[in-house]
Amino acid sequence: MSENLPLAVAVQLAAGWCAEVARFERVRVLFIKGAAAVAQGLRPEGERGTDVDVLVDPVDFDRFVQALIARGWLARPQLDNEFHILQYHSVTLIHPQWPCDIDVHYYFPGFFAPEQQAFDALAQHAETVDCADGTLPIPSRNAHAVLLAVNALRGDGSPRAQAEMRRMIRYFSEDADRWQQALHIAHLLRAGTVLAPFARQAGLPMPGNDLSTSEARAWQMSCASGGGVSRVLYHAPSSSWRERVRLLRWAIWRSGQELRNAHPDLPAGALSTLRGNVERWGRGLAQARGLARLPRIGETRKRVATQAASASTAPEFGRDVEPAGLPHAVIVVDKGTIQVSAPRGQGPVSSTRPSQFALPRDPFQVVRVSALSVESADTIYVLPQNDGLVLTQPLVLSGAAKGIWHLLGVEPIGVSTLQELVAHSAGLQIEECADLVKTIIVEFVRASLVRCDSGAPAVDQ
């Protein structure tokens, strides 16, 4: 899959599919960063991202993650299931056949309001953007800009974070009303203290100080300058001596399996494990440069997110797992008889027994079913949908199959009409292009279902 499906296309299809799953499960979600920010003009076209970021209503976080796992995705195991000093704000889901990840966020770092209040504040004036023939719910433009500004502050000076900071400064400086609305949003999110450096750098009115001393320190700890190193070292003094030894040993050395949990592409073997730990030490030394600026934290803020995320971790991560019963529909054109296999029901998809139709008067039509699609210059990437929204393998339609897809977007087409269209476009008699017609129909219907006219027999359910 990853060899054939372009990453940019995969991100769009996966986002559209996630939105459909959320609607199916009646879960409120907001898509953030990436393509959502590009659609609002908050990021340039080249900043669409390489994964899907979706913020979920906290009350339904675990249910939504489990819904994605049930449809074939795997939750990447967390690295800190023993000490719980790393604050997880999201669960990353991967799929063995998809080149992009899905990051499901429980809350967003830098928002210190209760998780439910923060989500409601972002969802209050939510907008929608088009994506892969579907729609994505996203925060309002100003709320999204606040989120991106906080995200840039958390980046602590990286080139990408600096570019984001400049864009957000320019955005809020262009219109005074935008910043006034942002101050109100920041108040609801309890992000005033967090945004103070941004306002100071932009020369904008300062937001109110809304964090306690311990919360302000917790924010400093979550920024990239200290990273995991600072959390370990500042957690150690408040631990027993025995726990300190275990903690530092865990911080210094990770097993091969722990490293592969974070980096699935890492090969097995002692040499790879050593190389992975050496790379961690290099990152740790870089993080340690900022430790002198960080105050000591005697307590760490635990969040329900850690427990919810742990409950959703799939222990079978790393196995070659495919969604059971990939939905499909196949037409076989043979001497005037058509055989149909179609998915039914919700959950794991099973094929119905074939139904056959005699075709004396072309009594049924080929129609286009609900599907997510992304069109490029010469192909269409199609992700068929079914009632259970089980993730299917995207199909690539080109040539005549692409033409049929567009034709069916207008109205259904009878099989005899389809044969005539193909024969006419090829300059042949219908009898001379039977194999071509069969190939094209089979290719197309793999991304479609055959529905009958009301007067014709229905497909067996």
For the stretch 344-353, pLDDT in tens is 333 332 333 3
Which CA distances in Å does 397 have to 18, 173, 276, 401, 451? 22, 46, 41, 5, 20
For residues 250-273, b (16+ Cβ closer than 10 Å) or e, as one string? bbeebebebbbbeeeebeeeeeeb
| Token pair for 404 | 């049929």
Is 239 domain-assigned? no
Is 244 domain-assigned? no
Do 385 and 305 sit in the same domain of this protein? no
Percent of the chain residues topping a pLDDT of 70? 55
Do 305 and 334 sit in the same domain of this protein? no
Range of the domain at 334: 330-452
Do 112 and 193 sit in the same domain of this protein? yes
Maximum average pLDDT range among 107-116, 381-390, 397-406: 107-116
Of 37-51, 291-305, 378-392, 411-425, minimum mean pLDDT range: 291-305
Is 241 domain-assigned? no
Is 231 domain-assigned? no
Do 374 and 335 sit in the same domain of this protein? yes
Do 370 and 298 sit in the same domain of this protein? no
CA atoms of 13 and 271, how far apart (whole Å): 38
Final residue belonging to a domain, choices 277, 311, 345: 311
Final residue belonging to a domain, choices 311, 338, 367: 311
Percent of the chain residues topping a pLDDT of 90? 30
Do 442 and 380 sit in the same domain of this protein? yes
Do 342 and 307 sit in the same domain of this protein? no
Do 97 and 128 sit in the same domain of this protein? yes
Write down the pLDDT at residue 263.
58
Final residue belonging to a domain, choices 311, 341, 372: 311
Is 421 domain-assigned? yes
pLDDT digits (tens, 9 = 90+) for 19-46: 999 999 999 999 999 989 999 999 998 8
Kindly tell me if the per-residue pLDDT of 363 is higher than 50: no
Maximum average pLDDT range among 187-196, 365-374, 397-406: 187-196
pLDDT digits (tens, 9 = 90+) for 128-163: 999 988 899 999 999 999 999 999 998 766 788 899
Write down the pLDDT at residue 17.
93
Q: What angle, rounded to 10 degrees, do the helices at 159-173 and 192-202 form?
A: 80
Do 181 and 99 sit in the same domain of this protein? yes
Is 59 domain-assigned? yes
**Number of domain units in the chain:** 2
Do 307 and 407 sit in the same domain of this protein? no
Average pLDDT, the chain: 70
Instruction: Find the helix or strand (DSSP H, E) in which 178 lies.
Output: helix 176-189
Do 343 and 216 sit in the same domain of this protein? no
**Prediction pTM value:** 0.68
Do 389 and 302 sit in the same domain of this protein? no
All residues at 6 or more sequence positions from 61 whose CB lies less than 8 Å from its CB, including other chains: 104, 106, 305, 308
pLDDT digits (tens, 9 = 90+) for 210-243: 988 888 877 877 675 444 544 554 444 544 555 5
pLDDT digits (tens, 9 = 90+) for 315-359: 222 222 223 333 333 333 433 333 333 333 333 323 333 333 333
